[in-house]
Amino acid sequence: MKKIGVINGPISEVIAKMGHYDMLMLGDAGLPIPPGVRRIDLALCQGVPSFIQTLRVVLSELKLQSVVVASEMQEVSPELYKKTLNELDGVEVELVSHEELKAMSQKAVAVIRTGEFTPYANIILKSGVVF
């Protein structure tokens, strides 16, 4: 049994295989996931697990270069946007339209579906390097 870190096998595997600038997406319960993109479905019920809980766990192992967030999140869900920025600890944030974010998801190595019901609770995490 894994002793520390992410104990979800598929998430741990995806993070371990990521290279510089590879993209991993975290999505709310309603995010459409493109055919052919790996789906890691964590959603149990409304709010479980939450977007922030999932982001926090993934960030405990993934080195970030930058992130992409829909500009609609900032406008429609400002409290969640603020919490998201707090978790990112100064990492560069690119704002795009929700439609652009969904189009970018086609290039993600995987999409992790959460139980989040807050509108626009979606983020693309671009992998950095640790050296």
Question: Which pLDDT tens digit goes with each residue over 93-109?
Answer: 999 999 999 999 999 99
pLDDT at position 2 is 86
pLDDT at position 40 is 98
Assign 74 a pLDDT band (cuts: 50, 70, 90).
Answer: very high
54 in helix, strand or coil?
helix
CA distance 125 to 58: 10
Residue range 9-127, CATH number: 3.40.1650.10
Q: What is the mean pLDDT of the chain?
A: 97
Q: Is 121 annotated as a binding residue?
A: yes
CA distance 24 to 18: 9
9-66: pLDDT as tens digits: 999 999 999 999 999 999 999 999 999 999 999 999 999 999 999 999 999 999 999 9
Q: Is 81 annotated as a binding residue?
A: no
Look at residue 115 and tell me whether its pLDDT is greater than 90. yes
Q: Is 122 annotated as a binding residue?
A: yes
Which ranges of 4-126 does DSSP label H, i.e. alpha helix?
9-17, 51-59, 71-76, 78-88, 98-104
pLDDT at position 92 is 97
Q: Which residues form the catalytic set?
A: 20
